[in-house]
Copies of this chain bind each other. A is one copy, B any other.
């Protein structure tokens, strides 16, 4: 009996079409010297949102678009090894991190697994405050050589509009 076909198997078929239309290699240094940090949310296509081409910009994404140590690590490598100079942060409306409460979610995991999760999940309520906090973390990180062009935005998933937070 054939193995059940997973979603991943469907993706692999698509990846073969991608390879067939591949436009040729590009340099490892991003052409626009830019790094974008965004939430992992499935409704944000960073390339389409910003009209990017292959090779234009680094794209860093996690739950929330929160500026964790891992995002700072990635930005340091982006700027110091691969010469990017600008940073764009993208949060969004209707974020999954607005659906949970940190203490409740942790208690639920502890009850189910018997262990404390070894990280904070980053639940938040006000998305504009979250962007401002993220901006402050990037601008205050001494290991980043380029901190003059760091801007933060909220993508409105209901309308497709991007608005700046200052």
- Using a CB–CB cutoff of 8 Å, the interface residues on chain A facing chain B are 6-8, 11-12, 14-15, 17-19, 21-23, 25-26, 28, 30-35, 40-45, 47-52, 54-63, 68-74, 76-78, 80-82, 86, 88, 94, 96-97, 99-100, 105, 109, 113, 115, 117-122, 142-143, 149, 151, 157-162, 164
Contact = CB atoms under 8 A, between A and B. Distances in A.
8 residue pairs, one from A and one from B, having the closest CB atoms: A22-B160, A14-B51, A70-B70, A63-B74, A30-B42, A19-B160, A11-B50, A15-B162
Contacts of A26: 42-43, 157
A34 B62 contact: no
Stoichiometry, copies per complex: 2
A88 B14 CA distance: 14
Contacts of A52: 14, 45
B22 A8 contact: no
A5 to B, nearest CB: 11
A63 to B, nearest CB: 4
28 contacts: A6-B149, A7-B32, A7-B33, A8-B149, A8-B151, A14-B50, A15-B51, A18-B48, A25-B43, A25-B157, A28-B43, A35-B40, A40-B78, A42-B55, A44-B59, A45-B52, A48-B54, A61-B62, A62-B62, A63-B73, A63-B77, A70-B119, A73-B122, A77-B97, A81-B96, A81-B99, A81-B105, A113-B142
Contacts of A161: 19, 22
B40 A59 contact: yes
Contacts of A28: 41-43, 94, 96, 157
